[in-house]
């Protein structure tokens, strides 16, 4: 048995708010964070809406010079990390810096700065390229800058596993603490990919919704009229600590991480494996590590992207793992309100699981008005539900066949 790993702090930057309380309020009220794109002119594109982070000013979290030298995905990660560290009351100094690490997942990294600097190259030539392009562009810079700002000298890297990146960052951090290689980890995911190239690329792949006439209703997981996911941006961070470390410093214990499963489909670059066997294996691995039976899960936060294939296959995987209990356990997709945060999706959904345990409220799956007959579980349609939730499971599945499952439960001393 390794160290028990607890959650002591949470941070969020999302399309529903710039912190945890505002995001949570938006979720339980069933509010959509999706609207028409304002970050650039989307008129030439097939899809002209997304779930943007609004009214975000990086200089509220970083000095002006540092903000100019870092990409939007890094800004989000810094803001969420500062909120999480503050809630945890985590003070990093010479006595503990080497025992505290940072892992922040990202699917794309600084694509925005890459696009703008490529335009500079074309229009003004190579001599005008910013010397900060490389550090602004690379995916690991979110973890790097957070560590620099906070002084965390433990394990530090970025995990990129497409839409499972944030979940894997938390899972790997959980394992690092469990085996004693760190006492605390700042873990999560970040993404900022609402730009013309990304939207056009997902349009070309027929992956995102084109419901331009009613964007707030475009993300509709498990609904028969779903036509693709909705691109979103933001970040989410959890402070994970070994139980003895958290108790010694009197940290607030919000939940416990008890299981993590990661698998690969080895099947297709975008489609889930037949029968969703990879996702089912990830859930079974997480349950086994947690020492739990499927019937002990009280709530499932689904990957639930609102794409035709994912929602059907995830439903199959849940039935495979949970059997008769699959119809009893509430399942919801918060992507119906937040959109799909790509590399940050798994992290924000892990935070939501902690909040569900804390508040006893299950967020709904909104826009579920025409249930798909092939998706026939209890998806908590349209209205939040009060329930005592002790154990949660959350899934993240990514392009390339990456499957990641986390299990979090209410903390008890035994």
Active site residues: 163, 303, 340
Helix (H) or strand (E) holding 174: helix 165-178
Both tokens of residue 312? 């059907």
Lookup result for tokens 């509430």: 330
d(CA 161, CA 307) in angstroms, rounded, equals 19
Directed axis angle between helix 111-124 and helix 196-204, to 10°? Answer: 110
Cβ-count burial of 306 within 10 angstroms (0-12 exposed, 13-18 middle, 19+ buried)? buried
- State how far the Cα of 135 lies from the Cα of 145, in Å rounded to an integer: 10
Buried b (16+ CB within 10 A) or exposed e, 119-151: eeeeeeeeeeeeeebebbbbbbbbbbbbbebbe
Q: Which of 144, 33, 145, 20 is nearest to 84 (CA)?
A: 20
Contacts of 276 (CB under 8 A, 6+ apart): 313, 314, 316, 317, 320
Collapse the DSSP code of 86 into the 3-class scheme (helix H, G, I; strand E, B; otherwise coil) and give the result: helix
Report the alpha-carbon distance of residue 35 to residue 314 in Å, rounded.
Answer: 27
């Amino acid at each position: 048995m390794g160290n028990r790993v607890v959650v002591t702090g949470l941070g969020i930057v999302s399309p529903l708010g710039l912190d945890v309380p505002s995001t949570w309020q938006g979720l339980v009220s069933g509010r959509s964070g999706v609207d028409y794109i304002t970050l650039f002119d989307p008129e030439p594109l097939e899809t002209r809406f997304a779930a943007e982070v609004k009214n975000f000013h990086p200089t509220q979290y970083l000095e002006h010079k540092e903000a100019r030298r870092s990409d939007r995905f890094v800004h989000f990660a810094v803001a969420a990390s500062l909120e999480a560290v503050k809630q945890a009351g985590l003070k990093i100094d010479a006595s503990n810096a080497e025992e505290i690490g940072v892992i922040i997942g990202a699917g794309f990294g600084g694509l925005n700065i890459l696009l703008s600097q490529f335009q500079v190259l074309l229009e003004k030539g190579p001599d005008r390229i910013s010397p900060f392009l490389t550090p602004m562009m690379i995916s690991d810079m979110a973890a790097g800058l957070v560590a620099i700002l906070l002084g965390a000298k433990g394990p530090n890297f970025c995990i990129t596993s497409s839409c499972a990146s944030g979940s894997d960052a938390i899972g790997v951090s959980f394992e690092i603490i469990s085996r004693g290689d760190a006492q605390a980890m700042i873990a999560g995911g970040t993404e900022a990919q609402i730009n013309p190239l990304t939207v056009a690329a997902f349009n070309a792949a027929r992956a995102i919704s084109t419901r331009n006439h009613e964007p707030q209703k475009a993300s509709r997981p498990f609904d028969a009229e779903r036509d693709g996911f909705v691109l979103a941006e933001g970040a989410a961070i959890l402070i994970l600590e070994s139980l003895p470390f958290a108790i010694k410093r009197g940290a607030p214990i919000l939940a416990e991480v008890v299981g993590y499963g990661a698998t690969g489909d080895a099947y297709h670059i975008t489609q889930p494996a037949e029968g969703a066997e990879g996702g089912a294996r990830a859930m079974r691995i997480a349950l086994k590590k947690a020492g739990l039976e499927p019937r002990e899960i009280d709530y499932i936060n689904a990957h639930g992207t609102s794409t035709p294939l994912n929602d059907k296959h995830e439903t199959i995987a849940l039935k495979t793992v949970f059997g008769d209990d699959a119809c009893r356990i509430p399942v919801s997709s918060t992507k119906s309100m937040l959109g799909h945060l790509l590399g940050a999706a798994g992290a924000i959904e892990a935070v939501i699981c902690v909040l569900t345990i804390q508040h006893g409220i299950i967020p709904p799956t909104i826009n579920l008005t025409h249930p798909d007959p092939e998706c026939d579980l209890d998806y908590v349609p349209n209205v939040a539900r009060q329930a005592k939730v002790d154990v949660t499971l959350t899934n993240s599945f990514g392009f390339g066949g990456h499957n990641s499952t986390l299990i979090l439960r209410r903390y008890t001393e035994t």
